[in-house]
Structure 1
């Protein structure tokens, strides 16, 4: 039997990168997946690509009304949620001396506020014994220039995992994080105004990673599957690092 057979999963930021790969993997493992994101055209393309046991819902994790609408639909259609993957994220690297209020507010608004309310609003629907997977980053515990705001948000995510594990233990809900290293997704492209700049970022991460490459979204999806399934039934409050050894050096 597949690892998520008959389960209902929600993946925010589900139309590209890690979210897309995770949605595809979960569906192959038997789940019905709701993907949530801001861009309708990408969501529709993703739903068409997956083709079965998937529903696309447009919305922004920063908007409480959008989250309420997502969960109201799930309540009506499925009655509950077994797995939540909070994957939506934003990054626009800026040095401390250049950090703007707008950059700070959008980074924290998406990565911290949006994630918190994504989980909070889902709690009435999450089954006892369910799984919550938060996508963090090795930036939470490494000093990376220009990542002032982004790294701080991911440190907050790591803190959420500890606190929510304590708060939700009586319901048997397991809360864990995945901390990816450099993964070849559109987030890398978003960190540069040019293709050449993005390729230079990839090259620098490749050179710094012991496995001598950047990761693939499918490799993070495999980690998410582990944490979402009964294979990780005794794993709670953990931060699973998937980074090719980058943070070990």
Structure 2
């Protein structure tokens, strides 16, 4: 298909999981794609897989000042930007007693502050008719124990999708959000738990999903493709919840 033919796109956190799968689907739909990532290993792996079909940029998603450099790289490579998928994020869980100011600030910087200043930095080069999609979470809606900081950052990002949609629609820029439920991605292997604890946590989470399984990165990416495309030209300030029915419990 060619729903994104001749469009330019930036995917943050695009070197693994949902971001990488979305990059694959964007490319298949005809877009010129740039992705960002943090780790050298992830950058190398993405370059090896995507080859010359994507520009791979090393960037710290939580560094507000650094978002200007990302915007400059996009301007130099593409001249303008049609699609932004804000996907980079961190998921850290723990009871309220265990949180420190430093760990709180890290989650807020990566999940909220960085995305806000990236949109600001890219503002001058967004094309008329551009689409911004923010990757939030079902945790913005449910009271999951030990997810207080993660949930508040995703709720803030969801609020940002709604307020920016009103602010930017006058320029023809649409802002929407996807809110995934539990997705089978490398994110869960980065939580620092033992293998046994990780399996127990996964089983506990899966028991709360009515469809009885984790979602896939491909299922989220397909929704992002829709929101990024002209098929969603009348979709503004919306949230697509893709959670296997979890929020309905």
In the superposition, the TM-score normalised over structure 2's length comes to: 0.96
User: What is the rounded CA distance, in whole Å, between the counterparts of 2:76 and 2:217 in structure 1?
Assistant: 31
Deviations 1:195-248 (A, max 9, x none): 222222221222111110001111110111011001111111011000111111
Deviations 1:20-76 (A, max 9, x none): 111111111111111111112211211221234201010112224432222212212
User: What is the rounded CA distance, in whole Å, between the counterparts of 1:81 and 1:158 in structure 2?
Assistant: 22
| Number of aligned residue pairs | 249
2:35 is equivalent to residue 35 of structure 1: yes
2:60 is equivalent to residue 67 of structure 1: no
Matches within 5 A, 1:1-249: 2-249=2-249
Structure 2, gaps ≥5 residues long: none
Assess, with a 3 A threshold, how the Cα gap between structure 1 residues 64 and 98 changes in structure 2: closer, same or farther: closer
Of stretches 147-156 and 185-194 in structure 1, the one that deviates more from structure 2 is: 185-194
RMSD of the TM alignment (CA)?
1.2
Deviations 1:119-149 (A, max 9, x none): 1111111111100000000100100111111
Deviation for aligned residue 1:159 = 0.8
Q: What is the DSSP-based 3-state SS (H/G/I as helix, E as strand, rest coil) of the residue aligned with 1:123?
A: helix
User: What is the rounded CA distance, in whole Å, between the counterparts of 1:77 and 1:52 in structure 2?
Assistant: 13
Deviations 1:92-129 (A, max 9, x none): 11111222112111010111101111111111111111
Of stretches 193-202 and 175-184 in structure 1, the one that deviates more from structure 2 is: 193-202
Q: What is the DSSP-based 3-state SS (H/G/I as helix, E as strand, rest coil) of the residue aligned with 1:14?
A: coil
Contact 1:14–1:43 at 8 Å: present in 2 too? no
Q: What is the DSSP-based 3-state SS (H/G/I as helix, E as strand, rest coil) of the residue aligned with 1:208?
A: coil
In the superposition, the TM-score normalised over structure 1's length comes to: 0.96
Q: What is the DSSP-based 3-state SS (H/G/I as helix, E as strand, rest coil) of the residue aligned with 1:51?
A: helix
Deviations 1:154-202 (A, max 9, x none): 1101110111011101111110000000001122122342222222222
Contact 2:71–2:118 at 8 Å: present in 1 too? no
User: What is the rounded CA distance, in whole Å, between the counterparts of 2:129 and 2:173 in structure 1?
Assistant: 5
Contact 2:63–2:110 at 8 Å: present in 1 too? no
Q: What is the DSSP-based 3-state SS (H/G/I as helix, E as strand, rest coil) of the residue aligned with 1:143?
A: coil
Runs of 4+ in 1 over 4 A off after TM superposition: none
Structure 1, gaps ≥5 residues long: none
Of stretches 57-66 and 13-22 in structure 1, the one that deviates more from structure 2 is: 57-66
